[in-house]
């Protein structure tokens, strides 16, 4: 894999992480509501802890 392709993949991953974080913090960006996001964020630890 070339360095350019690797750099583009890394940049795309960073953009995805930044966008998903922004949507979780500010759900109004996509037309969501804060209570629904609070419920979604609250369920994340329950899914990840075994």
Q: In this structure, are residues 16 and 22 in contact, taking their beta carbons and an 8 Å threshold? A: no
With respect to residue 7, please indicate whether it lies within any of the assigned structural domains: no
The separation between CA 41 and the C-alpha centre of its own chain, rounded to angstroms, equals: 11
If you average pLDDT over residues 17-26, what whole number do you get? Answer: 81
Whole-number Å distance between alpha carbons of 45 and 9: 28
If you average pLDDT over residues 18-35, what whole number do you get? Answer: 73
With respect to residue 4, please indicate whether it lies within any of the assigned structural domains: no
Cβ-based neighbour number of residue 32 at 10 Å: 14
Whole-number Å distance between alpha carbons of 33 and 46: 21
Domain range for 21? 13-48
pLDDT of residue 48: 54
With respect to residue 43, please indicate whether it lies within any of the assigned structural domains: yes
pTM beyond cutoff 0.75: no
pLDDT of residue 21: 82
The count of structural domains within the chain is 1
pLDDT of residue 25: 75
If you average pLDDT over residues 26-47, what whole number do you get? Answer: 63
Q: In this structure, are residues 11 and 4 in contact, taking their beta carbons and an 8 Å threshold? A: no
């Amino acid at each position: 894999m070339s360095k350019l392709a690797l750099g583009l993949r890394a940049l795309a991953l960073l953009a995805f992480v930044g966008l998903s974080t922004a949507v979780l913090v500010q759900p109004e960006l996509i037309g969501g509501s804060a209570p629904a996001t609070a419920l979604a964020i609250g369920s994340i630890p329950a899914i990840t802890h075994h």
